[in-house]
């Protein structure tokens, strides 16, 4: 059995002022194995991005703990990389410089990488995401899909153990979204040291297509953790015609349609 890479224990997070207290997460428990692709889904405002922010180390829990390979998380770490929905590229840097700069910064104090080596690695990863020939273009000269490819290349070039993705394809047209889903799965599957991916999405089809497990969240907590027992590699057109796909999608639709009934569920999920 694969080793546990991410362990969340009794995690709660509340935002407090002098007059009010809002609980964003309460008593979250979850374990994620090495090399797993896990999707977080659920209604807007249920805490998906907040939970990802805790995993990033950008949000400090009110109580409970998060462990990465038995080390408690207290801030960002080089073993984690993040891909956001809005690309977050430096507009004054070329695609290559965006990747090489992030690579050198991620290794600061850990490993010295020359500009020449960083540029070479950046070119390799830009080629992997299909951007050979666009290395010297600035973000403003690239389409939204191309910018997100740069963001993915930047994250992968840093060679993290864990890739945290917050609706990375949410602002992209449907056709480009499918292309990037296929690209992400290809890069993940071909990686010798397969990365652990935690991926936030609102899209049921996307979650089913990508994930090994789907974590369905309701306000403050986890309602269900669902195994996606579909063979890989996955062909999306064939997948959507299968009985297993239809059964799983139907189950997820029912969970979304019952979100009002689930709104008071605040416990951690049984794994």
Fold of 1-79+160-271: Rossmann fold (3.40.50)
Per-residue burial over 208-244, b = 16 or more CB atoms within 10 Å of its CB, e = otherwise: bbbbbbbbbbbbbbbbbbbebeeeeebeeeeeeeeee
pTM of the model: 0.92
Provide the residue ranges of all domains of the chain, joining segments of one domain with +: 1-79+160-271, 90-159
What six digits make up the tokens of 262? 């689930």
**pLDDT string in tens for the chain (271-residue length):** 479 999 999 999 998 887 888 899 999 999 999 999 999 999 988 999 999 999 999 999 999 999 999 899 999 998 999 999 887 899 999 999 999 999 999 888 777 889 999 999 999 999 999 999 999 999 999 999 999 999 999 999 999 999 999 999 988 899 999 999 999 999 999 988 899 999 999 999 999 999 999 999 999 899 999 999 999 999 999 999 999 999 999 999 999 887 444 444 434 443 3
């Amino acid at each position: 059995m694969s080793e546990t890479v991410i362990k969340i224990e009794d995690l709660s997070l509340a935002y407090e002022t002098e007059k009010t207290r809002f609980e964003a997460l309460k008593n979250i428990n979850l374990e994620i194995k090495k090399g797993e692709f896990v999707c977080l889904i659920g209604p807007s405002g249920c805490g998906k991005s907040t939970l990802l922010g805790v995993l990033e180390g950008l949000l400090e829990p009110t109580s409970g703990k998060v462990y990465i390979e038995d080390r408690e998380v207290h801030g960002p770490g080089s073993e984690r990389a993040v891909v956001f929905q809005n690309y977050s590229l430096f507009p004054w840097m070329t695609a290559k410089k965006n990747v090489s700069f992030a690579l050198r910064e991620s290794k600061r104090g850990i490993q010295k990488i020359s500009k020449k080596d960083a540029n070479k690695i950046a070119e390799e990863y830009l080629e992997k995401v299909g951007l050979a020939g666009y290395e010297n273009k600035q973000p403003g000269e690239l389409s939204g899909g191309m910018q997100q490819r740069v963001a993915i290349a930047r994250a992968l070039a840093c060679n993290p153990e864990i890739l945290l993705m917050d609706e990375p394809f949410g602002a992209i047209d449907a056709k480009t979204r499918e292309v990037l889903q296929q690209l992400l799965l290809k890069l993940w599957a071909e990686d010798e040291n397969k990365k652990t991916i935690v991926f936030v999405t609102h899209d049921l089809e996307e979650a089913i297509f990508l994930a090994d497990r789907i974590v369905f969240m309701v306000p403050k907590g986890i309602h269900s953790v669902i195994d996606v027992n579909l063979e890989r590699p996955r062909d999306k057109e064939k997948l959507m015609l299968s009985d297993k796909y239809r059964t799983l999608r139907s189950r997820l639709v029912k969970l979304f349609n019952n979100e009002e009934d689930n709104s008071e569920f605040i416990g951690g999920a049984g794994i």
